[in-house]
Amino acid sequence: MGSMADTKRLVTADDIDRLRQLLSDTDAEVRGPSDTGYDKSIDRWSKAAEKPAGLAIAPASAQDVAIAVKYAAENGLDLAVKGGGHSTAGASSTDGGILIDLQSKMRKVTVDTEKNLLHVQGGALWSDVDEAAWNHGLATVGGTVADTGIGGLTLGGGYGVLSGAHGLVIDNTVSFETVLANGEVKRSSKEENADLFWALNGAGQNFGVTTEFVFQAHPQDKIYMGTMLFPAEAISKLVAALNELYKVNETPQGPQTKSLGRAMSLVGFAKPPPAEGKTMVLMNAVFDGPEEEGKKMFQPFFDIGPAVNEMRMDAYPNANKLVPAMYGMRSSMKGAAHMMPLREQFVHDIKTAYDGFIDTCPDAALSVVAWELYDPVKVAASDEGSFANRGYHFNSLVMPMWSKAENDAQCRQFARDLSNMFKKEISEHGAKASGGIEGGASVRGRKGAVLLYGNYDQYDEISKDVYGDNYPRLQKIKAQYDPKNMFNKLFAIQPEGASAQL
């Protein structure tokens, strides 16, 4: 994916000593491999994404980050940035380089109640943001898994429970504070350094270390939410109900879904503990509104007869805790895409493949395959930022989870195989599959990008696939702010005038 870590030298004891001197008058911590806190800094949600950094720096300010970035640039050292540590592609890790661990000391959230703005440090998790905003009756579009970091999600676009009403996370960003490759701390917004602001909103991991995010918040009440479990025999009725609720229809008022921007669901196959080893259909459902209206919207699903029904009114932050955080496993979050209407036979085919995989690899029994569903009209209507995958398509997730390194290849191959099944299924909707290096798992959208979410693992796509028609403009901005391509961990953008093929 464009990483040049293998051209960088390894951190030495002299580097550790020098950085301790440079940061001695600050509140930052420099953590060598034998120091307290080092193991926590390199810890990742997916054990398969962990790498042994040469040293970890826990900064307390943008100025601390600037010292570390400038030192890495001047001394030819690989650099990685940890926000939430959820990158299963390993983009937040470095093997022998400098790790900037924002999560340790930069998680502050300040709420401006007069302007409904959230000022958030770069190491914050979405749970930090959700709770701080909720204390003031506010919310912003954020991650559907509360323990993920704000940085990676935002800089890659960002979908959330409230996307049907308020768009992507990047449709709600007001400004950024970013440390550039030369150590300069730069603020950007629509009014200030607008080109950098545009680039950060969708391709932001390529331009620096973003140390502060300012989000627009919105008044927020309690919402109707919960989890339902259905037996696999209910697939036919579930597919029909999902198509009815989330399919985009042309109306005299314009494109609409019956969810009217207020509902979102994650529907997939899993083997939850109550199922005693059986594959069931799990549905996390959210309705942004009062209980009576929520019950009416999800009544077709209640009529099917869920084996488990935990729907309830609750505080907004809990909507992003419906997916449990599971640490200590090896995982890959392989992205794919789908279109509506869902085809029943395809859903059955995915279940067959899922069951076959678990039968041959019991170590991966916690794996999940899911369809993400919401009202895409608001997202598709906007053209903010460098995110190039807006449209009436939906994300899918193939997430093998396993514990033994010996199963790495089999589990990743399963993710690749199912991703290609999604690619073939899209052709059933009359869409042409994308090229990519090995075919990808989706189709080309209106901005020339594959319909794949860059924040999920994409084994076969390259940077030009993900950024589409925005890629040339991004190259120009890259040449201005990071001409030596220091920030190159995920879907790297080659600066204009350079020769590498990405």
User: Nearest Cα to 210, choosing from 57, 106, 94, 129?
Assistant: 106
Q: Is residue 32 part of a domain?
A: yes
Residue-range definition of the domain harbouring residue 289: 223-314+326-461
Task: Please tell me the total count of domains within the chain.
Answer: 3
Task: Tell me, yes or no, whether 258 and 291 share the same domain.
Answer: yes
H/E element holding 334?
Answer: strand 334-338
SS3 track for 123-185: CCEHHHHHHHHHCCCEECCCCCCCCCEHHHHHHCCCCCCCHHHHCCHHHHEEEEEEECCCCCE
Residue 483 in any domain: the answer is no
Assigned domain for 234 exists: yes
Residue 308: inside a domain, yes or no?
yes
CATH of the domain at 36: 3.30.43.10
Do 201 and 132 belong together in one domain?
A: yes
Q: Establish if 467 belongs to a structural domain.
A: no
* Residue 428 neighbours by CB distance under 10 Å: 11
| CB within 8 Å of 316: residues ≥ 6 apart | 130, 134, 139, 161, 220, 221, 222, 223
Same structural domain for residues 122 and 192? yes
Phi, psi of 403 (to 5 degrees): -115, -25
Asked if 352 and 299 sit in the same domain, the reply is yes
Q: Is 194 helix (H, G, I), strand (E, B) or coil?
A: helix
DSSP 8-state secondary structure symbol assigned to residue 457: B
Tell me the pLDDT of the chain (502 aa) as tens digits. Answer: 444 445 789 999 999 999 999 999 999 999 999 999 999 999 998 888 899 999 999 999 999 999 999 999 999 999 999 999 888 788 899 999 999 999 999 999 999 999 999 999 999 999 999 999 999 999 999 999 999 999 999 999 999 999 999 999 999 999 999 999 999 999 999 999 999 999 999 999 999 999 999 999 999 999 999 999 999 999 999 999 999 999 999 999 999 999 999 999 999 999 988 788 899 999 999 999 999 999 999 999 999 999 999 999 999 999 999 987 778 899 988 888 899 999 999 999 999 999 999 999 999 999 999 999 999 999 999 999 999 888 888 999 999 999 999 999 999 999 999 999 998 998 777 655 444 433 333 455 555 555 667 776 665 677 888 888 899 999 999 999 999 999 999 889 999 987 654 4
Q: Are 89 and 124 part of one and the same domain?
A: no
As beta bridge partners, residue 131 has none
Alpha-carbon gap, residue 81 to 102, rounded angstroms = 7
Residue 4 CA to residue 411 CA, distance in Å, equals 26
How would you classify the pairing of strands 330-331 and 401-402? antiparallel
- 257 with 330, same domain: the answer is yes
From 220, 238, 261, the end of a domain falls on 220
Point out the domain boundary residue: 77, 101, 125.
101
Residue 149 burial (CB < 10 Å; 0-12/13-18/19+)?
buried
DSSP secondary structure string, 337-376? EE-SSPPHHHHHHHHHHHHHHHHH-GGGTT-EEEEEEE--
* Residues 207, 247 within the same domain: no
Q: Is residue 299 part of a domain?
A: yes
With respect to residue 485, please indicate whether it lies within any of the assigned structural domains.
Answer: no
Query: Residue 371 phi/psi, 5° resolution?
Result: -110, 130
Same domain? 215 vs 230: no
Do 428 and 381 share a structural domain? yes
Residues 54 and 11: their CA atoms lie apart, in Å, by: 5
Q: Does 439 share its domain with 296?
A: yes
3-state SS, residue 224: strand
Are 61 and 176 found together in one domain? no
Claim to verify: residue 97 and residue 114 sit in the same structural domain? no
37 vs 409: CA distance, rounded Å: 31
Tokens of 107: 């998680």
Q: Which of 220, 235, 257 corresponds to the end of one domain?
A: 220
In a domain, 65, yes or no: yes
Question: The domain that contains 177 carries what CATH number?
Answer: 3.30.465.10
DSSP, residue by residue, 396-456 = EEEE-EES-GGGHHHHHHHHHHHHHHHHHHHHTTTPPBP-TTT--SSBB-TTS-BS--TTS
Residue 264: give its domain's CATH number. 3.40.462.20
Q: Which residues neighbour 484 within 8 Å (Cβ) at sequence distance 6 or greater?
A: 73, 181, 495
Measured CA to CA, the distance from residue 479 to residue 485 in angstroms comes to 8
How open is the CA angle 23-25-30, to the nearest 5 degrees? Answer: 35
